[in-house]
């Protein structure tokens, strides 16, 4: 074979090799481009019970269909490096429901039930932010409700609200739950009785607007996981709270028979905390018996811009920047709660001997 033929063969081989390389590069680039286009992740991908809920967001948006739904800055998914979490975020001031002056990004259960029928809600969460502005003398300051039962008739009161609260400058905050009486007669005398889980109950407040109590020794930090379960079965509410490194705490509350049916039954906590606003009502004898209920879960911000002088329990005087949500987010005036797991369903029997 002469040199001319060898050169021709080599040129042909090189052309074939070059074509193969180019074809490989084309397909690799195409594949990479395809893999770089990530499919959106929705809250319903993380916690698949979203078809059982509707939502109210902190900007006043209502949405009834939550499968493959998200909204930036309010209801979306974050990954902490290990786990996907559903984020509920809401400012101190925005547009809220007809029964409250506090904003929320919060699920509302579509199915309704009575205490006699029952229901169960659980959630594993971490609170990432509570408002850094408020009045330390006001019980609701610096707090967010992360789960509740709400009545849908009568006074529309709440048999349970689960709170997280952390004073500015503290590392650890408190988890507590409130029982709102189903007031007998006029609802103007209603009040919440607060029970501590870890840290303080709601009645522990500061001596002045910017002087705080001591940090709770057994509290929960921002970003620290905990789990709650609300199980209503045959009119009895069973509560369980768990967190790694903390004692598991359980409570039982009868929703069919009141503990607060007479003036003599009103706890000292209520007489002290509500003295300035004169709320000293009593509860109807059968409490919430027969009343339609539903669960709520997410971030129900308890901070608001109302004047504390008018109500030292619920008017926190928090900064709202005239409702400018971007400014509130930029300056720590919001609540943010992350859930990685949650379940809702019927109430289940409890072995109270355990």
Q: Which tens digits make up the pLDDT trace of 88-136? A: 999 999 888 777 789 999 999 999 999 999 999 999 999 999 999 999 9
Q: What is the mean pLDDT of residues 210-239?
A: 98
pTM of this structure: 0.89
pLDDT band at 36 (very low <50, low <70, confident <90, very high): low
Domain boundaries, the chain: 1-37, 48-345
Q: What is the pLDDT of residue 30?
A: 32
Q: What is the mean pLDDT of residues 52-64?
A: 97
What's the full length of the chain, in residues? 354
Q: Is residue 305 within 8 Å of residue 320, measured between CB atoms? A: yes
Strand ranges, E, within the chain: 53-56, 62-63, 75-79, 84-91, 104-109, 119-129, 143-151, 160-165, 172-180, 192-198, 220-221, 226-233, 236-242, 249-254, 293-301, 334-345
Q: Is residue 354 within 8 Å of residue 235, measured between CB atoms? A: no
Q: What is the pLDDT of residue 100?
A: 77
| 310 contacts: CB under 8 Å, gap ≥ 6 | none
48-345 is classed CATH 3.40.640.10: no
pLDDT at 20 over 60: no
List the end-to-end C-alpha distance of the chain, in Å, as a whole number.
Answer: 94
- What tokens were used for 247? 């004692």
Q: What is the pLDDT of residue 11?
A: 54
How far apart CA 176 and CA 284 sit, in angstroms, is 24
How far apart CA 175 and CA 143 sit, in angstroms, is 10
Task: Let me know the angle formed at the C-alpha of 84 by 343 and 228, rounded to the nearest 5 degrees.
Answer: 35
Q: Is residue 129 within 8 Å of residue 335, measured between CB atoms? A: yes
Q: What is the mean pLDDT of residues 281-306?
A: 98
How far apart CA 56 and CA 103 sit, in angstroms, is 9
């Amino acid at each position: 074979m002469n040199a001319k033929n060898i050169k021709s063969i080599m040129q042909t081989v090189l052309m074939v090799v070059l074509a193969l390389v180019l074809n490989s590069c084309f397909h690799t680039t195409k594949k990479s481009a395809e893999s770089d286009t990530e499919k959106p992740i929705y809250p319903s991908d993380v916690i698949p019970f979203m078809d059982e809920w509707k939502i109210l967001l902190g900007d006043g948006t209502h949405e009834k269909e939550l499968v493959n739904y998200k909204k930036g800055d309010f209801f979306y998914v974050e990954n902490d490096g290990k786990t996907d979490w559903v984020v509920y975020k809401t400012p101190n001031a925005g547009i809220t429901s007809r029964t409250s002056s506090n904003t929320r990004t919060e699920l509302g259960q579509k199915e309704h039930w009575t205490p006699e029928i029952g229901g169960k809600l659980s959630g594993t969460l971490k609170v990432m932010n509570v408002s850094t502005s408020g009045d330390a003398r006001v019980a609701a300051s610096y707090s967010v409700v992360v789960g509740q039962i709400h009545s849908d008739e009568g006074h529309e009161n709440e048999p349970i609200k689960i709170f997280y609260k952390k004073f500015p400058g503290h590392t650890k905050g408190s988890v507590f739950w409130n029982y709102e009486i189903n007031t007998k007669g006029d609802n103007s005398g209603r009040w919440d009785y607060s029970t501590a889980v870890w840290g303080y109950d709601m009645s522990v407040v500061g001596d002045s607007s910017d002087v705080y109590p001591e940090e709770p020794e057994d509290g929960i930090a921002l970003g620290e996981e905990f789990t709650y379960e609300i199980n209503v079965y045959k009119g009895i509410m069973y509560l369980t709270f768990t967190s790694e490194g903390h004692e598991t705490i359980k409570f039982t509350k009868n929703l069919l028979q009141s503990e607060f049916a007479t003036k003599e039954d009103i706890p000292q906590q209520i007489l002290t905390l509500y003295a300035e606003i004169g709320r000293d009502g009593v509860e109807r004898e059968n409490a919430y018996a027969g009343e339609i209920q539903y669960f709520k879960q997410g971030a129900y911000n308890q901070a608001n811009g109302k004047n504390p002088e008018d109500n030292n329990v619920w008017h926190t005087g928090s900064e709202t920047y005239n409702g400018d949500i971007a400014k509130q987010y930029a300056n720590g005036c919001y609540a943010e709660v992350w859930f990685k797991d949650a379940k809702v369903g019927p109430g289940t029997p409890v072995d109270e001997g355990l």
